[in-house]
Structure 1
């Protein structure tokens, strides 16, 4: 989401963000780089704004840090730490009721890693080394017309190797939940390493970053082949242009037992 900011004018506009979510029109939407009560985004609860725009019945924001990334922040010592302070993390929005929620916290890399910062208006940027942040996954067991479906949403480290280690962690945890299972989000991994590292099937393989002219896929919808049953024969995959973020959202329209449903990953930048 890039905390709802447009790379064209650098502004976070609530109406523009809500219209972007409504245009994606996903039944299940994973959000990365989400602000809550941050001055830079007008002190909005952006997950709640997204839920309202999507017509969702269930949603949850999970903070990865208290404070502002790139400035002053601290890890959470427990899930409701810093509830009245600026938070930054991920969100999950669903048009289906949620039977249960779980949070998995992931340690940051002990060493800094390279990140490519997009320039103004999506122009040429520059690589730089940044200290990693704590990461988090939120898991929801959805009550859908096709039975229970487990969805995990996350935003993994940008540090090479460490993100693969985190990916294996989240896959192990997701496999303790009911099948079928899906993982949505910005994994900071190209398509081949994400598929090989997880052992899961990518439901859409298309570049998502940078938004101005996507060249690499960092954002994924992965499905666990265990317990899936009959694989859908087709899936409509799109990366629509929206006026927020420096990634494009990955939208997968997935027919389940003859009835369509969609899962979207609305990512932020690799940090």
Structure 2
């Protein structure tokens, strides 16, 4: 079984900054993953052509089981709001994570993580970049219990905070949430943590 994680950067190419659904599908198809976790995923965002990037990725892998979990409604860095209860922001631009599986999904679980309560310095490259103070945004964990040829497997996707210490706290919350699901368990994503 091949597991992969991919930070989509809203579907933008690192070479020219454009969002090209065919190029994105080709890159994802080349991964040939049985299970794929996606971070920085747009759905219905003007900046990414109002596309559903999770659905594009699922088609590229010929994977019938997929789900997008919005972390926020709106566009991070511009204007957004956290989701309320079971609100999934449908019909509005959303930003979050995705999870795709070629194996059948028994159940899905969404766990919401609060943003850091303080602004944190982040280095932004480029001519107008530098060290800037940013507000964190809410985060989300999307878990699926899969039926695989080897038995049940829980796979989760997340993108933790960039704020040092707060991301470790979110990781502990994530581990607690996953303990309620069948083992073995695998966590995929952009954890924003040092290797140690």
TM range (shorter): over 0.9
Q: Is the 8 A contact 1:55 1:95 kept in 2?
A: yes
**Equivalent residue for 2:152, pick from 148, 154, 161:** 148
Q: Is the 8 A contact 2:144 2:156 kept in 1?
A: yes
1:172 aligns with 2:161: no
The equivalent of 2:43 in structure 1 is: 36
1:45 aligns with 2:49: no
The equivalent of 1:114 in structure 2 is: 121
| Deviation of the 1:81 alpha carbon | 4.0
Q: Determine the C-alpha separation between the residues in 2 that align with 1:127 and 1:10.
A: 22
| Deviation of the 1:6 alpha carbon | 1.2
| Deviation of the 1:118 alpha carbon | 3.8
**Equivalent residue for 1:80, pick from 87, 90, 103:** 87
C-alpha change, 1:118 and 1:97, in structure 2 (3 Å) is farther
1:96 partner SS = coil
**Equivalent residue for 2:68, pick from 61, 77, 80:** 61
Q: Determine the C-alpha separation between the residues in 1 that align with 2:50 and 2:130.
A: 29
Q: Is the 8 A contact 2:69 2:88 kept in 1?
A: no
The equivalent of 2:3 in structure 1 is: none
Q: Determine the C-alpha separation between the residues in 1 that align with 2:169 and 2:154.
A: 21
**Equivalent residue for 1:129, pick from 121, 130, 133:** 133
Which 5+ residue runs of structure 1 have no aligned equivalent? 193-271
| Deviation of the 1:8 alpha carbon | 1.7
Shift >2 Å, 4+ stretches: 78-82, 114-120, 125-128
The equivalent of 1:160 in structure 2 is: 164
Q: Is the 8 A contact 1:114 1:158 kept in 2?
A: no
Which 5+ residue runs of structure 2 have no aligned equivalent? 1-7
Q: Over residues 77-103 of structure 1, what are the superposed CA-to-partner deviations in whole Å (9 max), with x where a residue is unaligned?
A: 123342100000000011101000010
TM-score, normalised to structure 2, is: 0.92
Q: CA RMSD in A?
A: 1.2
